[in-house]
Amino acid sequence: MTIRSRVTALATVAVLVVLLVAGFAIVRAHERLLVETVDERLEQAAAGHVSRVGGGGEQADVLPPADDDSVAQLVRDGRVVDAAPAALAEPIADAPPDGADQITRGLADVLPGEGAYRVLSVDLGEGLVLHLGATLDDVQDSTGALRQALVVSVPLIAAVLGALIWWFVGRALRPVEAIRAQVGAIGGHDLHRRVPVPATDDEVGRLARTMNGMLDRLEGSAEQQRRFVADASHELRSPLTRMRSELEVDLAHPATADPATTHRSTLEEVIGLQHLVDDLLTLARHDAGGRAAAPHDDVDLDDLVMAAVRRIRAGGRATVDTTAVGPARVVGDASQLARVVTNLLDNAVRHAEGTVAVELRARPDGSAELAIADDGPGIPAGDRERVFEPFTRLDEARTAGAGGVGLGLAIVRDIVRAHGGTITVADARERGARLVVTLPGTR
């Protein structure tokens, strides 16, 4: 069953149950009200008989004629002394009860009507008892008519309400059906499409906006994936093309070929391809949720920084200033954090004109702040977020000798986030670029 059918069925059943209970209560209340009216009429008649009989005289044991729908009887010491109608030769009730009673005994053969009678008995004293009765035919007829009306009207009302509920639920779910149809029509190449958003600010409207937000994220993720695949293909194709060209030239002109040079060049390209594949695998694991395990080791970040600096200095690629490096301990994975420091230093050295400055300090809140700056061309304000995306290289870095494929900072961002830290591009103090990493300290 659809939601529309289930809601309609449940609501209709609930309405029907409520109407049945209410109808039963109405019938009982109606019957009780009519019986109370009969009792009041009997009490009024009894008061008149008591006043007349209590006066004594010759009329003490005589009753006036009874109406067609009522009876009266005087009984002395168990013997009927007068009755209206006269056919009531036997007492119609026993000793007087506390109030009016409903009886049928001995009345069906001598009294008009097919139903029960309501009888009120009054003790007049000296062994004399007055019995007054009124037929309940009108009460039963009225109650039966009401019951019959409810038997017809309750199912009809429930059916009408069920039809209205079906219509209203269908109208309320119409935007949901439109959303479902639109989502069903969206394929992998139609992620730019969005579901219709109703004007109301209800659950359906919020659902539509949430769906559109999800589609925005899916479109962005798909676009990022396409760009990633295109960039990765380009970066893989370029060294393969160069190696193929060198090998084809050597094969075409063996007399002038220099195998040693070709071997060295090919080896360098293979090493570069290996590093690229390693970086791609690292990013793929991060994107798939396979980040490093929750960091738990205490790591001396200053030791990792100085080890990376010694490697840079040994290569003689740039001057590294470490006068602002102080002790700092963080919680994390030492190998992952070492890669963060290495990638940041390699990036700074690649763009520096001559000097790289490294700063490390423990902040008052216990966290550690690592800042690495270079004196190169810097990073424009509009590109400070884009540099952390895979395969992003600014125009100044797109030279054959600059090296790098634009994966280092993307890997750094993933590792830092996995450790609960942040990385930002800050304003340089003089010129160049300054990247600042903040990591949680030890507890």
Structurally, at CATH architecture level, domain 226-287 sits in: Orthogonal Bundle (1.10)
Closest-CA residue to 74 (of 99, 57, 100, 92): 92
- Locate 10 and state its tokens: 């449940």
The C-alpha atoms of residue 314 and residue 309 are separated, in whole angstroms, by 9
- Contact indicator for 439, 383 with CB cutoff of 8 Å: no
Q: Which amino acid is at 284?
A: A
In this structure, is the dihedral angle defined by the CA atoms of residues 240, 245, 251 and 255, taken in order, positive or negative? negative
Domain extents for the chain? 3-140, 226-287, 297-439
Could you tell me the end-to-end alpha-carbon distance of the chain, in angstroms, rounded to an integer? 56
Number of helices (H) and strands (E), helices first, in the chain? 7, 12
- Locate 423 and state its tokens: 């990385």
Which homologous superfamily does the CATH classification assign to the domain defined by 297-439? Histidine kinase-like ATPase, C-terminal domain (3.30.565.10)
Q: Where are the beta strands (DSSP E) in 208-344?
A: 297-300, 319-325, 329-332
- Give the burial string for 18-30 (b: 16+ CB within 10 Å, else e): ebeeebeeebeeb
The tens place of each residue's pLDDT in the chain, 443 residues long, gives 788 888 899 999 999 999 999 999 999 999 999 988 888 888 888 787 777 665 554 445 666 665 666 788 888 887 888 887 777 777 777 766 555 555 544 444 445 555 677 888 887 777 778 888 888 888 888 999 999 999 999 999 999 999 999 999 888 888 888 888 888 888 777 778 888 888 777 888 888 888 888 888 888 878 777 877 777 787 788 788 888 998 998 898 888 888 888 898 889 888 878 878 887 787 777 666 555 444 578 889 999 999 999 988 887 777 889 999 999 999 988 888 988 998 899 888 888 888 899 999 998 888 999 999 988 888 888 888 888 887 776 654 444 344 556 778 888 888 898 888 999 988 877 778 899 999 988 76
The C-alpha atoms of residue 306 and residue 215 are separated, in whole angstroms, by 46
- Contact indicator for 374, 356 with CB cutoff of 8 Å: yes
> Whole-model pTM?
0.53
- Contact indicator for 321, 374 with CB cutoff of 8 Å: no
- Which residue's entry shows tokens 């030791």? 303
The C-alpha atoms of residue 395 and residue 378 are separated, in whole angstroms, by 11
Closest-CA residue to 102 (of 91, 116, 113): 116
Q: What is the CATH number of domain 3-140?
A: 3.30.450
The C-alpha atoms of residue 259 and residue 241 are separated, in whole angstroms, by 18
